[in-house]
Amino acid sequence: MPESKYFDILVTDDDLTLDVGGIPARCFDRDSIAQDIKHMIRETGLLVDLVANRDERKKAENLVELTMAVDNDERIVPGSCEIHEPELGVFYLVAETVEFGPVDFKLEAK
């Protein structure tokens, strides 16, 4: 197995993911970057504002802020982040990592 550049403890549903031996599982490279981005977005609080806000102008501002925050991550190709809302309150993020291809995931305010 090639050596990984990035790794982190895997978090699933706000809890550590344990392997069969009870040891925290790890995620690597692209998955680690995606997990970091999800946590960064959660920490900004902007996702909660997006879901709760009915003002389209404010939602657009929040989407721009989130997109810029993701694009500012040195592991992401600048300008590659896109966030779409295919249905009310459901957001999908797609971005290109510098070394590991695309990351994409659903954003949910919990």
Residue 1 domain-assigned (yes or no): no
| Cβ contact 44:36 at 8 Å | no
Domain that holds residue 23: 7-107
Rounded distance, CA 56 to CA 8, Å? 36
The yes-or-no verdict on residue 19 having pLDDT over 60 is: yes
| Cβ contact 109:51 at 8 Å | yes
Residue 99 dihedral angles phi and psi, to the nearest 5°: -115, -15
pLDDT in tens, 64-102: 999 999 999 999 999 999 999 898 888 999 999 999 999
CB atoms within 10 A of CB 79: 11
Query: CA end-to-end span of the chain, whole Å?
Result: 36
Domain count within the chain: 1
Residue 49 domain-assigned (yes or no): yes
Specify the pTM.
0.87
**Which residues, 6 or more positions from 98, have their beta carbon under 8 angstroms from its beta carbon?**
74, 75, 76, 77
Q: How confident is the model at residue 49 (pLDDT cuts 50, 70, 90)?
A: confident
Residue 77 dihedral angles phi and psi, to the nearest 5°: -65, 120
